[in-house]
Amino acid sequence: MIYQQPLPSPYPTLDDAELTSRIVAAKAKLGDSVVILTHHYQRPEIVALGDMRGDSLKLAQFAAAQEKSKYIVYCGVHFMAESADILKRGQQVVVLPDLGAGCDMADMADADDVELAWDELVSVLGHESIMPVTYINSTAALKAFVGKKGGVVCTSSNAENIVRWSLEQRQAIFFFPDQHLGRNTCKRLGYTPESMLLWKPGVPLGGQAPERIRDSRIFLWEGHCPVHAMFTLKQISALRAQDSAIKIITHPECPMEVVDESDAVGSTEFIVKTIAESPAGSKWAVGTEMNLVNRIAKENPDKTVVSLNRFMCLCGTMNRIDLAHLAWALESIVSGHPENVITVGEPERSLARASLDRMLTMS
């Protein structure tokens, strides 16, 4: 966990109008030398000031294509800014407005723990024909480990293609850190939940018997997204009992039983597109982060859009980036002394780049 130092004066005392004015002025001064990337889960006032909005895959592709902008200000979380630094061209500087914007899921898979688990798998299987696949929601160190082993990164948009390819290339697949995305993806490819082994970190052999390991091809790390874990079958049943016309659309980070009962499943980009293209009068209950659900509802006034969980909370780490931090980050760049610069050093950078490039090539 990385902690953000308190903002200097006067940022904590400025109101939203003043902060917005300062952000707009800083952007005008910087012109084409800066680009602001905003993830779908960001606050609405942050999204409104960004240059590009999207999911992890879309923003990774956009960051990799940047040639003109000297500064990339990433309004997302730490692993996203790391990926932007790894994929950048030339000497661009990547800035994360709040260093405390991390990811609970990414923190569940430490690269050293994964490497120990890998060694245990190899010792039992008797071969290294294992494809490591890491969800993009992971640290640069973990992406570097995957790159070193010839593996690949995936996002929720391309997980199915990546996992299919991985199982064609090698005898087994080790998927981390999100067990739900791994399980839901493999199930869509025709594998039964019983054929997938859940690897518990910190437990010898992941808590599995050697014979079960030798009989399996799919190993899932015991990690998850705390936000998407808050959606349940009970919520789906209650909404359908109230209105049989409502459609359930969820993110594949949700538990398998929730995904199985959904009418549509896909990435944040898929969710946005599906609802936007649905007929007027459509009714949707959405299983993903609340900032995005509210934005979809606002952008589709001819439809009914609600959260699958009526008591849903925001993603606490994504929500850390506010107007004050963005204003401070941009004005620091204007002053010639950018703060919160995210830098991935060598050899980690080159190894992680290999796993990310492999993903982009297949996307």
pLDDT band at 202 (very low <50, low <70, confident <90, very high): very high
Kindly tell me if the per-residue pLDDT of 203 is higher than 70.
Answer: yes
Identify the architecture of domain 11-101+317-346 in CATH.
Answer: 3-Layer(aba) Sandwich (3.40)
Would the CATH topology of 11-101+317-346 be identical to that of 228-307? Answer: yes
pLDDT score at 95: 97
Identify the architecture of domain 228-307 in CATH.
Answer: 3-Layer(aba) Sandwich (3.40)
Kindly tell me if the per-residue pLDDT of 61 is higher than 90.
Answer: no
First to last CA, the chain: 31
Q: What is the mean pLDDT of residues 195-218?
A: 96
The two beta strands, 93-95 and 71-75, are parallel
Average pLDDT, the chain: 95
Tell me the residue ranges of DSSP E strands in the chain. Answer: 34-39, 52-54, 71-75, 93-95, 130-135, 152-154, 172-176, 196-199, 218-221, 247-250, 264-265, 283-287, 304-307
275, burial (CB in 10 Å: exposed 0-12, middle 13-18, buried 19+): buried
Q: What is the mean pLDDT of residues 333-337?
A: 97
Q: What percent of the chain has pLDDT over 90?
A: 88
Q: What is the mean pLDDT of residues 170-198?
A: 97
pLDDT tens-digit series, residues 29-59: 999 999 999 999 999 999 999 999 988 878 8
Kindly tell me if the per-residue pLDDT of 349 is higher than 70.
Answer: yes
pLDDT score at 121: 97
Q: What percent of the chain has pLDDT over 70?
A: 99
Kindly tell me if the per-residue pLDDT of 219 is higher than 80.
Answer: yes
* Dihedrals phi, psi of 178, to nearest 5 degrees: -95, 105
pLDDT tens-digit series, residues 111-147: 999 999 999 999 999 999 999 999 999 999 999 999 9
pLDDT score at 319: 86
The answer to which of 104-118, 193-207, 310-324 has the lowest mean pLDDT is 310-324
Q: What is the pTM of this model?
A: 0.93
Identify the architecture of domain 106-224 in CATH.
Answer: 3-Layer(aba) Sandwich (3.40)
| Residue ranges per structural domain of the chain | 11-101+317-346, 106-224, 228-307
pLDDT band at 1 (very low <50, low <70, confident <90, very high): low
